[in-house]
A and B are shown apart, each in its own frame.
Chain A
Amino acid sequence: MDAVEKANADRQKRWAKDQKIGEGTYAVVYRGRELATGRKVAIKKIKVGQFKDGLDMSAIREVKYLRELKHQNVIELLDVFSSKKNLNLVLEFLDTDLELVIRDRSLVFLPADIKSWMAMTFRGLEFCHRNFILHRDLKPNNLLIAANGHLKLADFGLARDFADPGYKMTCQVITRWYRPPELLFGCRYYSTAVDIWSVGCIFAELMLRIPYLPGESDMDQLKTIFRALGTPTEEDWPGHTKLPDYVPVGQFQKTPFRDLFSAASPECLNLLSKCLIYEPRRRISAREALYHPYFTSHPHPTHPSKLPKPADKTSATLPLEELDGNAEPNGNGPGVKANPPNKLKRKLSSDELSGGGRSIARKLDFTQQRQTVQ
């Protein structure tokens, strides 16, 4: 046996797959453990043979970035090995995700809980940005939560390094409800600010317990944003009318945050508003956000171990959520009673099923890259 094969076989022997917990278009996920320690892990087996162009881009991105990123608020890639023509990613096992937490209507959030989740999100994101990496798919179900309550950024299948000035990037990234207006206007040069917008949307969702800006199409997404935040003026966002896909979508007045988020503190609304500034260059950075008074004012953030989380019984099937967006572990399962009053149910929304959602964004992403990046 070659040395390389042998090293691979040795690595493979460290892990055991226990149970298949889900299957998506591009991966099968197993619950497993480290044999030496019994530590629980998730093993994501990526089927390689079926791709015409060899190793698939989202697998490559995920491996590339997770190999480099080690941080308490980023999911840890413990090992990579191959078995026959499959690529196996050994990931730390995480119990649940923020979407399931938000949807679980039996859970009550305190302002301090939201502050804790936000702090961990910003900390993980700051680390990515400090490493010159854009996540490009932040949303509640990509924020996973460990048994000890720690929140971790996951799913780096759409991530990329910062482009050099003058190099185009695709604007077909980020799940629609969390996508910033510059991408909806077709902007091909963008920055860390795109991730910050997504965090702003998540921040609002934590307070509202329903998605803050649930557009039904890309066009409707802009309208939804403007209805909530007011149509931007040239002063708010210089030059936005010159963006490639700019279309006027009507004049709307901003709904004051105070009306919608009546219980929030002034610092809280100040940080939220800075995440949702139209002009990307004025939007707050992850690093600045960590220094924002919101995090140092009372109440102090809840300790992660004390954060609300869904009841235990669901945990066996949850990692699917992170590991493959196409997987439907147990249908309505834990979310049934959590259907938001406005009937917006993310999993079964037209967004996910008929093609506006993440899987499509990913598909588009590849073709776009090919046409544009070179």
Chain B
Amino acid sequence: MAAGQPSHANAEASSSKHSIYEASTQYRHWRFSPEQLVDTRASLNAAAVSVIRDAFEADEARSSTTVSFLDANEESLLVKLYVGKVSQLCGHFRFPEEVEATAMSYLKRFYLKNTVMDWHPKNVMLTALFLATKTTNNPIPVDTYASHIPKTQPSDVLDLEFLVAQSLGFDFAVWHAHRALWGMSLDIQVLPELTREEVHRVYQIALNHVRASRLTDAELIFTPAQIALACLSLASPHLAVSWTRLKLAEDADMLLSAIQPIKDMVVAHGSSPDVEAVRDVDRRLKLCKNPEKVMGSRAYMKKQQEAERRADEKRKRKAAEVRRAMEEGDPFGSELARDGAMDDDDDDD
């Protein structure tokens, strides 16, 4: 490598290979085609149903035949309702927009890895929001946070934090369309045909479209800048064209046609779901949720016991190993990590 020879070419090289956005975890891990999204959710749902069916059966034979499980669309509907609730909660706390947008992204990403039948979005939402306050550098103490939410203890929030972080693959950084839109609003100020008031008015309308876009899958399919441009175009098609021409002379038309699906999506899906429909889903969810995740249920106890038994076994095995090592005369045990697996994790907690 040429680290010892700083040159202009070298400084350029790393920047020209990828745009900053293309190097982001959002681009690398959280970008799907619409078909991939459908597939991901369908297979996640199928796997969940099969696991939960087994759990029901293990608990009581033939008990799963009468259960009507949620399908992938119904799951999405429920998640969407709670994505919308993040806004309400953020309004209450007066959190900055970045916290709100980040929490919503977290919630959507979480349910690309988990099913609502295991983890109810009303709980996950609280944790996702709390985590977002920290990852966007707006932390508040968990006590304060929980005390502002009815019937919520700090432990309700913290117990899921690890699961949420893990489900996000620890990809905490999220790029948002409202940031891109803000940049565009600065750009269009230089256009000659506009007054300040006009720019501000269009920006506010476009921003509301961006907020609506957060209720859709747009951010899982398109880039923040594409979404922002689509929303600008919804607010003022003419300004979106001017901005695009200002930025890219030749490819303007291509880009403008590419944002049409986003506009359609925001218009069609950018509002809160019908409450009655969701209520029905939620009612059925009570009957089909994973019994192993319902604290106090028979299946839950059984699973806990199983986990304890295994932990106990491991402890005994370890103790036996130490004993054996002592007898063999090496008080420090045999060679470390013989089997390579990292299961000796409780050495110091």
Q: Which residues of A contact B (CB under 8 A)?
A: 2-5, 7-8, 12-13, 15-20, 23, 28, 32, 35, 45, 47-49, 52-55, 57, 60-61, 63-65, 67-68, 70-73, 80, 82-87, 116, 119-120, 122-123, 126-127, 130-131, 149-151, 160-161, 287, 290-291, 295-296, 300-304, 306, 366, 369-370, 373-374
Q: Tell me if A's interface is mostly helix, strand, loop or mixed.
A: mixed
How far is the CB of A95 from the nearest CB of chain B, in Å? Answer: 16
CB of B167 within 8 A of CB of A4, answer yes
A70 to B24, CA, bound (A): 9
Chain B residues contacting A373 (CB-CB under 8 Å) are 137-139
A85 to B160, CA, bound (A): 11
Instruction: Name the residue on A nearest B182 (C-beta).
Output: A164
Verify if B134 is at the interface (C-beta below 8 Å from A): yes
**Set B3, B11, B95, B167: member contacting A290, Cβ < 8 A:** B11
* Extra A-B contacts (18), CB below 8 Å, given A130-B15, A291-B11, A304-B3: A2-B118, A18-B336, A54-B130, A54-B142, A57-B134, A57-B139, A63-B172, A67-B171, A68-B23, A82-B162, A119-B5, A120-B3, A123-B3, A123-B10, A131-B20, A290-B6, A300-B4, A301-B5
**Set A70, A72, A370: member contacting B141, Cβ < 8 A:** A370
A70 to B20, CA, bound (A): 11
Verify if B341 is at the interface (C-beta below 8 Å from A): yes
**Set B6, B165, B344, B348: member contacting A123, Cβ < 8 A:** B6
CB of B3 within 8 A of CB of A73, answer yes
Q: Please name 22 pairs of A and B residues whose Cβ atoms are closer than 8 Å in the assembled complex, sorted by A.
A: A4-B113, A7-B113, A13-B341, A16-B342, A23-B348, A48-B162, A49-B349, A53-B158, A54-B131, A55-B134, A55-B162, A64-B173, A67-B172, A68-B24, A85-B349, A87-B165, A290-B6, A290-B8, A303-B3, A369-B137, A373-B138, A373-B139
How far is the CB of B299 from the nearest CB of chain A, in Å? Answer: 14
CB of A72 within 8 A of CB of B3, answer yes
A47 to B346, CA, bound (A): 11
Chain B residues contacting A291 (CB-CB under 8 Å) are 8, 11
A88 to B214, CA, bound (A): 32
Instruction: Name the residue on B nearest A65 (C-beta).
Output: B173
Chain B residues contacting A45 (CB-CB under 8 Å) are 345
**Set B1, B6, B8: member contacting A301, Cβ < 8 A:** B6
Q: Determine the interface band of chain B, counting residues with CB < 8 A from chain A.
A: 35 or more
Verify if B157 is at the interface (C-beta below 8 Å from A): yes
Verify if B161 is at the interface (C-beta below 8 Å from A): yes
Verify if B329 is at the interface (C-beta below 8 Å from A): no
Chain A residues contacting B165 (CB-CB under 8 Å) are 55, 82, 87
CB of A19 within 8 A of CB of B336, answer yes
How far is the CB of B62 from the nearest CB of chain A, in Å? Answer: 25
How far is the CB of A122 from the nearest CB of chain B, in Å? Answer: 7
Q: Tell me if B's interface is mostly helix, strand, loop or mixed.
A: loop
Verify if B16 is at the interface (C-beta below 8 Å from A): no
Chain A residues contacting B4 (CB-CB under 8 Å) are 116, 119, 300-304, 306
Chain A residues contacting B158 (CB-CB under 8 Å) are 53-54
Chain B residues contacting A306 (CB-CB under 8 Å) are 4
List B residues 297-347 near A (Cβ within 8 Å).
336-337, 340-342, 344-347
Instruction: Name the residue on A nearest B44 (C-beta).
Output: A3
How far is the CB of B149 from the nearest CB of chain A, in Å? Answer: 15
A52 to B135, CA, bound (A): 16
Verify if B271 is at the interface (C-beta below 8 Å from A): no
CB of B114 within 8 A of CB of A2, answer yes
Chain B residues contacting A61 (CB-CB under 8 Å) are 137
Given A119-B3, A120-B3: A3 touches B113 (CB 8 Å cut-off): yes
**Set A3, A82, A131, A369: member contacting B114, Cβ < 8 A:** A3
Of the listed residues A2, A7, A47, the one surrounded by the most CB atoms of chain B closer than 10 A to its CB is: A2
